[in-house]
Each structure stands twice: as C-alpha cells, then as structure tokens.
Amino acid sequence: MSETDFKRLKYLNMEIRVMSEELELLKTLRDYEAIKMDGMPKGNAPSNRVAKIAVQIVALEEKITNYIEEILEKWEAGLSYICSIEDPELRMIVRLRFIAGFTWEQIAERLHVDLSTVKRRYRGWQAS
C-alpha cells in the first residue's frame, strides 16, 4: 500500500463527512417542505418538491454507503500492510501518520524522539 493509497483514504473520509452534512441539510429541507403542506389542496407543487428531495436523499445515502464500503476494504488492507512492517518503531510511525492522522511533529512527540529521526526513518522505509 502506498502513501497515495493512504491519502486517498483520508480524502474519502473527508468526502463522507461533507456528504453527510449535505444529507442532513436535505433531510431538514424535506421536513420543512413537509411541514409547509398543511393538508389543504394546493396542487402538486409541494409534494413534488418533497418527492424530489426524497430521491436526492436516497441517492446520497447510497453514495455514502458505497464510499464507506470502499473505505472499509482499503482500511483493512492498510492495517494488514502496516502490521506486516517488522520494525515496531517504523510500524508505529506509519500507523500514527496514516491511520491516526498525526503530523510529523505529533509523531515525534508521541514517540519521544527528534522530528528528524521520524522523518529519516520514514524516508528510509519509503525508499526500500
């Protein structure tokens, strides 16, 4: 698994968060439109809007589900890959960087080593 693959996971996660926010907005809009319908005959306009919003909600929910499935597959592959790294310090560096999302500085602080050591170990592993 490459650094690019790990970065893709990060951006898929971010995209899921954004889509979830959009989903909540659509649900709020649907509820608002449904409340506006007071049972009095007014034509089909409000119910058509609610139906269109409902279709958008279903489509977005499906997309989020597909992304989550993709992430879970890649996440499992990433964890397996990280667990295959023999050096425990290097394994922790890679795990903190790509699974926990730590900065290089946070990793150095967490492992109680110099920042240059963390970067050097990572670059050496990357080159191999």
pLDDT tens digits along 104-120: 999 999 999 999 999 99
- The whole-number pLDDT of residue 38 equals 55
Going from N- to C-terminal start, the domains of the chain cover 1-84, 87-128
CA–CA dist 76, 48 (Å, integer): 42
Is the model's pLDDT at 39 over the cut of 90?
A: no
pLDDT tens digits along 6-20: 878 778 778 888 989
Helix or strand holding residue 88 (H, E): helix 88-98
A 10 A CB-CB count for 9 gives: 20
- The whole-number pLDDT of residue 43 equals 55
Is the model's pLDDT at 98 over the cut of 80?
A: yes
3-class state of residue 82 by DSSP: helix
